[in-house]
Every structure is written in C-alpha cells, then in structure tokens.
Amino acid sequence: MFIISITYIKSAGEIDALLTARRQYLKEHFANGTFLMSGRKVPRNGSVILADGGDRADIEAIVQEDPFFIGDVATYEITEFVPSMTTELLSAFRPTEKN
C-alpha cells in the first residue's frame, strides 16, 4: 500500500491548466484498481493518493505518467506501508498471516 503525497510548486493557474488531463489520469488508475482514494489537501497546496498494487517501482512509474509530474508543477513523496489494522470495510487490504 502506498501514500502518494503531492505538493504544488507552481501557481494555481498552472495547476488548473492541467486538471482535465489529471482527471483522466486518475480515472484510468481508479478503473484498473491501483488508486483507491484521492483528494486535495487543505489548504489547497497539493493532493494525496492512496494506492495499492505492484511494488514501489510500479508506483514510481505510474507517478511519472501524472500530468502534474510531466508538467513539472508538483513534487511527490511516496510512502509505502503495510496496513496492520483496518476497519472491516477495508479488511481486504490487510496482509494475510503466514503459517
């Protein structure tokens, strides 16, 4: 599981100019199951994506497809974590115990 923290480094106008392409990018990765949740930070100085699937190299490659990355309007921090506790709703993301 990965938390992708995006921080804007350009003006709101430059960010907004890429929003249509960004929404398509997000839709694609939600449709294939890689992205589980996303949203903007408050205040609006970036966004966060919760992702599942593959390894860190796979997530890094997906990040490089982001129109914000391509447009050099944001920086990215990728944090990998193992969800040891979840609500029942998210239990499918808990690691299975090995006997």
pLDDT of residue 83: 86
pLDDT of residue 7: 98
User: Which pTM does this prediction carry?
Assistant: 0.89
Say yes or no to pLDDT of 97 above 70.
Answer: no
pLDDT of residue 99: 40
Three-state helix/strand/coil letters over the chain: CEEEEEEECCCHHHHHCCHHHHHHHHHHHHHCCCEEEEEECCCCCEEEEEECCCCHHHHHHHHCCCHHHHCCCEEEEEEECCCCCCCHHHHHHCCCCCC
Q: What is the pLDDT of residues 22-60, one digit of tens each?
A: 999 999 999 999 999 999 999 999 999 999 988 999 999
